[in-house]
């Protein structure tokens, strides 16, 4: 007696082959897409220009002044930002030798003592392309500070400008 199978072998084989074909087409399509897909995008990057210039000063200011008690000496600095970025500037004025009782006055502000222990610093922000700042300052020697020990003394004052690109 023959055992009759309930499954139709040719139909089952066709179904398995159809499943294998569908799976292999899906897998091959994924591999094929990797090699045939492309983009045509491009980008250009560059660094913004950075340039800070000034009028009224060079690498060193030679402001040789003879002063006596009750007199003052003035200087003006103009700083321009022609950069494409905002710039923070630090202007520091420091008395390097502290031989004379000098005071520093910015514009119309009250005068402050100028000694090496406490340099005077101004911080400003210059906007891109149009940022300009002017500093007018004076070195003062008070009339009351007229001690004979100051006779023949010399002071060296440094003016430092640091410009830093802002984020």
Q: Higher-confidence residue: 58 or 144? A: 144
Q: pLDDT tens digits, residue range 121-153? A: 888 888 887 777 887 888 888 888 888 888 888
Dump strand ranges (E) for the chain.
52-55, 72-81, 87-95, 102-106, 112-113, 120-126, 131-141, 157-165
pLDDT digits (tens, 9 = 90+) for 107-122: 888 888 887 678 888 8
- Tell whether the model's pLDDT for residue 60 goes beyond 80: no
Q: In this structure, is residue 43 part of a structural domain?
A: no
For residue 161, the enclosing domain spans 52-165
pLDDT band at 45 (very low <50, low <70, confident <90, very high): low
CATH of the domain at 141: 2.60.40
Asked if residue 57 has pLDDT above 50, the reply is: no
Give the three-state DSSP class for 52: strand
State pLDDT tens for residues 85-104: 888 888 888 888 888 888 88
Does some domain include residue 141? yes
């Amino acid at each position: 007696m023959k055992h009759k199978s309930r499954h139709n072998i040719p139909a089952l084989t066709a179904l398995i082959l159809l499943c294998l074909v569908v799976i292999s087409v899906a897998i091959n399509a994924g591999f094929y897409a990797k090699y045939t897909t492309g983009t045509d995008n491009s980008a250009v990057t560059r660094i913004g220009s950075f340039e800070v210039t000034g009028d009224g000063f060079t690498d060193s200011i030679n402001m040789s002044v003879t002063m006596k008690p009750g007199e003052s000496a003035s200087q003006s600095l103009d700083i321009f930002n022609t950069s494409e970025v905002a710039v923070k500037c630090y202007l520091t004025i420091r008395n390097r030798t502290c031989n004379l009782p000098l005071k520093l006055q910015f514009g119309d502000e009250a005068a402050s003592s100028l000694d090496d222990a406490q340099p005077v610093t101004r911080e400003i922000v210059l906007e891109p392309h149009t940022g300009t700042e002017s500093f007018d300052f004076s070195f003062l020697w008070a009339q009351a500070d007229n001690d004979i020990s100051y006779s023949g003394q010399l002071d060296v004052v440094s003016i430092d400008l640091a410009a830093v690109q802002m984020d």
